Amino acid sequence: MTADLFSLGGRVAVVTGGVGQLGTEIARGLADQGARVAVFDIAAEDGGDEIRTYGVDVTDRAAIERATDEVTKQWDVPHVLVNAAALDSPPDAPAEEVGPFEDYPSESFDQVMAVNVKGTLQCCQVIGARMATAGRGSIVNVSSIYGMLSPVQQLYDFRRREGDAFFKPVAYSVSKSALYNLTRYLATYWARSGVRVNTLTLAGVWNDQPREFVEAYTERMPLGRLANADEVVGPVVFLASDASSYVTGANVVVDGGWSAW
């Protein structure tokens, strides 16, 4: 009985950004629990079986609608939406992306906000509306610890010692913070329609980052390491499944203890 709570058999899931590092793990993890998964990603090529991919730019609402129509026609109105598509600047990003706040280009801000916030909002509008009409659904908005807390700029001291004026950019933090109230807004807006909406907040995930960054990061992290990409799967399955049937409007923090200091 308990195992059945986490089953996604017979359900349809959409994962945005599903070609990326985390999105790939999420899509595979949902499929392993029995879901039929549609990946919406600008880098995807159409095709697939249990995991089908659709070339979708989440900033293009018409593209989202077309792909959702196709998923619904082939399978069903989605039961699960995981908004994982995002733009970020990694620790080894080129200098022009990561200069001082005072010089941060408005064009870069607009690009990040368009994907991380507008893209999430539009996917919720298109897919969430259909879920509400069907009277069921679970939406998971993937955020970051840097949306909940300020970035620790000292983690990037190694870049500055090398002569680069590196700062974790403001747009990523602002965009990920915006998801918390989007989640709360939609959780109350669709509560009586059977659609649950939650945020999943993650800390750093291992992705072959520079050694100096990893050492500084893990020294501050209570668990003493970055997350493995597959460690996000369990929390997503929990929020997508009946195991979280009374959870909505929440922020599930999976950060290795980062925010506990």
Six-digit token string for 196: 């649950």
Query: Residue 139 falls within a domain, yes or no?
Result: yes
Query: Residue 31 falls within a domain, yes or no?
Result: yes
**Tally of structural domains, the chain:** 1
Q: What is the DSSP string of 40-59?
A: EETT--SEESSEEEEE--TT
Query: Residue 227 falls within a domain, yes or no?
Result: yes
Residue 42 is predicted with a pLDDT of: 94
CATH number of the domain to which 73 belongs: 3.40.50.720
Q: Write b or e for each residue in 230-240: b if 16 or more Cβ atoms lie within 10 A of its Cβ, otherwise e.
A: eebbebbbbbb
Query: Residue 79 falls within a domain, yes or no?
Result: yes
Domain limits at 107?
A: 2-253
Query: Residue 12 falls within a domain, yes or no?
Result: yes
Task: Indicate yes or no: pTM above 0.85.
Answer: yes
pLDDT digits (tens, 9 = 90+) for 104-136: 889 989 999 999 999 999 999 999 999 999 999
Residue 196 is predicted with a pLDDT of: 98
What Cα–Cα distance (Å) separates residue 10 from each residue in 36, 76, 237? Answer: 7, 10, 14
Query: Residue 119 falls within a domain, yes or no?
Result: yes
Query: Residue 74 falls within a domain, yes or no?
Result: yes
* Residue stretches of the chain with pLDDT short of 50: 1
Query: Residue 258 falls within a domain, yes or no?
Result: no
